[in-house]
Amino acid sequence: MLRSIAHIQLRWVIALVLALPLLAQADDQLASWNDGPSRQAIEQFVETVTTEGSKDYVPVAQRIAVFDNDGTLWSEQPMYFQLLFALSEVKRLAPEHPEWKTEQPFKAVLENDQKTLATTGMDGLMKIVGATHTGVSVDAFRENAQRWLATAKHPKNDKPFTEMVFQPMLELLNYLRANGFKTYIVSGGEVEFMRVFAEEVYGIPPEQVIGTTFSTQFQDKDGKYSILREPKLALNDDGPGKPVSIQSIIGRRPILAFGNSDGDLQMLQWTTAGEGKRFAGIVHHTDAKREWAYDRDSHIGRLDKALDAAKANNWTVVDMAKEWKVVYPFELNQP
């Protein structure tokens, strides 16, 4: 009898020992981050600004964290996902616009002529975006974006675009919120496009999503009210536009900012120029195997001046290949 009891106790001890690593991982809010310099810098910063009595303590109301979206919270290759949406919309809307068969840049889109499309440059891009993003109500545009996100798949791995988000950054958002931070998206992406998925995917509500915006107009048609999206850019939320929109919409200077490209440089500069403890982070795409490797010479998400600024100012540069255990959430279910 005693031997039987001892045997049972031994089995429980063995089970507990085997379970300890799993329990520790479950309690780890940044489980997808390796214990490297970036994770250590993040945790040290958060501990410093949230510890009452510390000279660097920051009240909850002032704990503002801002994040770029493309390339920072989700992938951005082989081209910005919103641009892929716009190209898809051209093809969907083509039956309503027979003139597009002969009119550039739409002709190039319909014929999958990437070479000709590239020659149309920014003017061509703006025509495509204007034709697919404006001239409709906000509600109609959101429905179009929701339809595309529900069915479209990424060309590389055939995953929904909302699964191309970075698991370590999802953990970071939750970690910051658990420590009293209010998290915002401040992106060059169009604001209503991001608002379609930001709350479900990132836990960031629409009022905390800041992005490029088109002019809008309230409409009353026989008692039916809508907000029309007009083909006129109201705010280009990129580069120096980011600190301007932060001040205009949030009204507080962030104490933490994360980006990945030169388009985020001014946001990082504005954040770190404030008084007290500040944190600036850059996601450096170094993982050609699990994601993509690019920086100074990339046409998408170029990281050149901001990388130099990071080194000069001792900002945190996250080496994706070395510091992330996984990149995407779906990797968690893989052997």
Q: Is residue 20 one of the residues assigned to a domain?
A: no
Give the tens place of pLDDT for each residue, 8-65. Answer: 444 544 443 343 344 344 479 999 999 999 999 999 999 999 999 999 999 999 999 9
Distance, in Å, from the CA atom of 309 to the CA atom of 268, rounded to the nearest integer, reads 9
Instruction: Give me the pLDDT at residue 57, please.
Output: 98
In a domain, 257, yes or no: yes
The pLDDT of residue 303 is 98
Residue keyed to tokens 């893989």:
334
Say if 152 falls within a structural domain. yes
113 falls within a domain = yes
CATH number at residue 263: 3.40.50.1000
Residue 279, strand partner residues: 256
Find the domain containing 236 and state its range.
35-333
Query: Does the residue 18 lie in any domain?
Result: no
Q: Enumerate residue ranges in the chain where pLDDT < 50.
A: 2, 5-10, 12-26
Asked, for residue 25, whether it belongs to a domain, the answer is: no
How deeply is 333 buried, as exposed, middle or buried, from its count of CB atoms within 10 A (0-12, 13-18, 19+)? exposed
* Spatial separation of the C-alpha atoms in residues 4 and 303, rounded to whole Å: 65
Whether 199 is in a domain gets the answer yes
Distance CA 228, CA 215 (A): 8
Q: What's residue 16's pLDDT?
A: 39
Residue with tokens 């070479």: 115
pTM: 0.91
Tell me the pLDDT of the chain averaged across its residues. 93
User: In 10 A of CB 15, how many CB atoms?
Assistant: 10
Q: How many domains does the chain have?
A: 1
Domain-located, residue 7: no
